Amino acid sequence: MTGTSTGASRPDEGRAPDETAASGSGGSTPPAGSPEEARASAGPTGNRLTVLSGPSGVGKSTVVAELRRAHPQVWLSVSVTTRKPRPGETHGVEYFFADDEEFDRLVASGGLLEWAEFAGNRYGTPRAPVLEKLAAGIPTLLEIDLQGARQVRATMPEALLVFLAPPSWEELEKRLRGRGTEPEDVIARRLAAGRIEMAAEREFDLTLVNTSVQEVCRRLIALLAGAPEASSPGRSTS
């Protein structure tokens, strides 16, 4: 159930190519040629866990896919889920698939760094691969929901929690409805959860506002590389 692999979003984020990107805490974007910019261009290093979270439809999976395309050295944890595989999904690639009994064993044994339930299915982050990558100094990223982020905060307070926010609530609702792939009751459930997640933004170390996927990725890479803005909580517009 544990192991390393390329990963997928969680839980079941929709992928819209134009959903995205950036505003970070700590003031303005680092100028070209600055130490922060040099660290970002050199690529991420280090052993601090970075967590990316935000409401459904904000574009997390789009950002993560672009970040890993441009910086394949970033390791994205693969979640374990009790959800049934969908056509084209491979065990250990998109998810590790488990039945309820196996998931229960992972929870009881402390094998999960965090876990949460969504739409009747459970999702969790295998603990061992994350700790192994961090110990090896490999930049490690978790894309998880609010429940999971809170659990990581409690068990790994040194982790950097990044909140990905939409430009506005109206834009988030437009993106969710624009997918055209989910019934109204599922959309309503996602929107209700989104309001709770948006209200919890202040629990995170900093916020990136999603207006450009490339800019969000650039800021994330700078943070993974140890840019000073990571220590300045809050939100600012780039």
Annotation-wise, does 168 bind a ligand? Answer: no
Annotation-wise, does 54 bind a ligand? Answer: yes
In which element (H, E) is residue 116 found?
strand 112-118
Annotation-wise, does 56 bind a ligand? Answer: yes
Annotation-wise, does 111 bind a ligand? Answer: no
Annotation-wise, does 30 bind a ligand? Answer: no
In order of 41, 154, 178, 211, the CA distances from 67 in angstroms are 13, 27, 24, 15
The CB density around residue 1, as the number of other CB atoms within 10 Å, is 19
Q: How many residues does the chain have?
A: 238
The pair of three-digit structure tokens given for residue 42, joined into one six-digit string: 């050199």
Provide DSSP, 14-82.
---TT------SSSSPPPTTSHHHHHHHH---SS--EEEE--TTS-HHHHHHHHHHH-TTSEEPPPEES
**Cα dihedral sign for 72, 204, 147, 112?**
positive
Annotation-wise, does 213 bind a ligand? Answer: no
Annotation-wise, does 57 bind a ligand? Answer: yes
Beta strands 121-126 and 75-76, pairing class = unpaired
Annotation-wise, does 194 bind a ligand? Answer: no
Give residues with Cβ within 8 angstroms of 23, minimum separation 6: 165, 207, 208, 209, 211, 235, 236, 237, 238
Give residues with Cβ within 8 angstroms of 58, minimum separation 6: 19, 164, 165, 166, 172, 175, 210
Q: Provide the residue type at 161 as one letter.
A: L
Can you say which residues are annotated as belonging to the binding site? 54-61
Can you say which residues are annotated as belonging to the binding site for ATP? 54-61
